[in-house]
Amino acid sequence: MLRLLALGVLVLAVALLAFIRLAPSDPARWHQMPETITNRDLEGGVMRRVPGDLAAFDAIARATPRTRVLAGSVEEGMITYVTRSRIMGFPDYTTVRQSGDMLEIHARLRFGRSDLGVNAARVDGWLARLAEAR
């Protein structure tokens, strides 16, 4: 009986991990921005509003391992990226919009409540590279 229970728990864990890694990302849900973007850390993400160029930011984001474009383009003025964690494959979504000479950035997790600062570290790292490139 104990073996059957352990096997059941293992199957559920593998199914959960497969769902996290393989769940589709709906652009209609994730390729959006809040009306107002302010510089602040969130429990499950981060918002930043900084001077910058979307094309330069795009090159930096695309060069990041496990990061791909979900929707949008430089020409559209808004891009959403999906970055997956190395081991578990948890997806984080970062939407960046050009607003005049400012970049508005909203990065957030999909699963869970807290990202333990991962989105803030990633976005701030991208912004540091952007500042170095100027």
Q: Express each pLDDT in 84-94 by its tens digit.
A: 998 888 999 99
Per-residue pLDDT at 22: 80
The answer, yes or no, to whether residue 17 has pLDDT greater than 90, is no
Statement: residue 2 has pLDDT above 90:
no
**Tell me: the pLDDT tens digits for 107-122?**
999 998 899 999 999 9
pLDDT higher than 90, residue 70: yes
Q: Domain-by-domain residue ranges, the chain? A: 26-133
**How far from 11 is each of 5, 47, 91, CA to CA, in Å?**
10, 37, 22
CB 129 within 8 A of CB 56: no
**Per-residue confidence (pLDDT) for residue 14, from 0 to 100:** 83
Give a three-class secondary structure readout of 34-81.
CCCCCCEEECCEEEEEEECCHHHHHHHHHCCCCEEEEEEECCCCEEEE
Architecture of domain 26-133: 2-Layer Sandwich (3.30)
Alpha-carbon gap, residue 77 to 97, rounded angstroms? 6
